[in-house]
Amino acid sequence: MTSKPEKTLETFPNLFRERDYHIHMQIPEFTCLCPKTGQPDFATLILDYIPDKKCVELKSLKLYVWSYRDKGVFHEAVTNKILDDLVAALKPRYMRLIARFYVRGGIFTNVTVDYRKEGWQPEPRILLQEFNSQSNTRE
- 37-58 confidence digits (pLDDT tens): 999 999 999 999 999 999 999 9
92-139 per-position pLDDT tens digit: 999 999 999 998 878 899 999 999 999 998 888 888 877 666 665 555
Long-range contact pairs involving 98-107 (C-beta distance under 8 Å, separation at least 24):
98/45, 98/46, 99/30, 99/43, 99/44, 99/45, 99/46, 99/75, 100/43, 100/44, 100/45, 100/46, 101/41, 101/42, 101/43, 101/75, 102/41, 102/42, 102/43, 104/34, 104/39, 104/41
Predicted confidence band at 60 (pLDDT cuts at 50, 70, 90)? very high
Global pTM reads 0.86
Set 20, 32, 34, 55: catalytic member = 34
The full set of domain ranges for the chain reads 23-117
Predicted confidence band at 65 (pLDDT cuts at 50, 70, 90)? very high
Check residue 132 and give its pLDDT.
67
Check residue 29 and give its pLDDT.
95
Q: Note the CATH number of domain 23-117.
A: 3.30.1130.10
Mean residue pLDDT of the chain comes to: 91
**What is the DSSP secondary-structure string of the chain?**
---S------EEE-TTTTS---EEEEEEEEEEE-TTT--EEEEEEEEEEE-SSEEE-HHHHHHHHHTTTT-B--HHHHHHHHHHHHHHHH--SEEEEEEEEEEETTEEEEEEEEEE-TT--PPPP---PPEETTTTEE-
Is residue 70 part of the annotated active site? The answer reads: no
Q: Which has the closest alpha carbon to 94: 33, 50, 124?
A: 50
Predicted confidence band at 2 (pLDDT cuts at 50, 70, 90)? low
Is residue 34 part of the annotated active site? The answer reads: yes
